[in-house]
Amino acid sequence: MSSTLADINSQIKKSEEQIAQLRKQAEELRNHERAGVIEELRKKIAEYGLSAADLKLGGARSPATKRGAGAPAAKAEAKYRSPNGETWSGGRGRKPRWVTEALAAGKSLSDYEIK
């Protein structure tokens, strides 16, 4: 069987049109099913008197995130204070400049502990 480039391109175009139609059908079916699921859930929520808190729906969070997208981490309590009033929790990561300068000058972290 010998096909020309034009024949192959024509077949590709037909296939792409079929794919587009099937994707549209799939989207319509999904939307229809989704509407049914939403209605069913609304009935169950009303029947059992459930709230957003019961369902752990605290906002527009992604299910894959634990704290929620963009939610700040809890700040650690400060353990050290500089003479200028700057604080540091002593946690992981880089030490603040005032800490590295104090240590380089021979001071000890215990000199700056908040008591």
pLDDT score for 53: 85
Q: What is the pLDDT of residues 28-38, one digit of tens each?
A: 999 999 999 99
Q: What is the pLDDT of residues 59-108, one digit of tens each?
A: 655 555 555 566 677 778 889 999 888 898 888 888 899 999 999 999 98
Closest-CA residue to 113 (of 64, 78, 76, 65): 78
Phi and psi based region of residue 109 (left: phi greater than 0; alpha: psi -120 to 50; beta: remaining): alpha
How do the domains of the chain map onto residue ranges?
A: 7-57, 80-112
Quick one: average pLDDT of 41-60? 85
Tell me which long-range contacts 94-102 makes (C-beta under 8 A, separation of at least 24): none
pLDDT band at 1 (very low <50, low <70, confident <90, very high): low
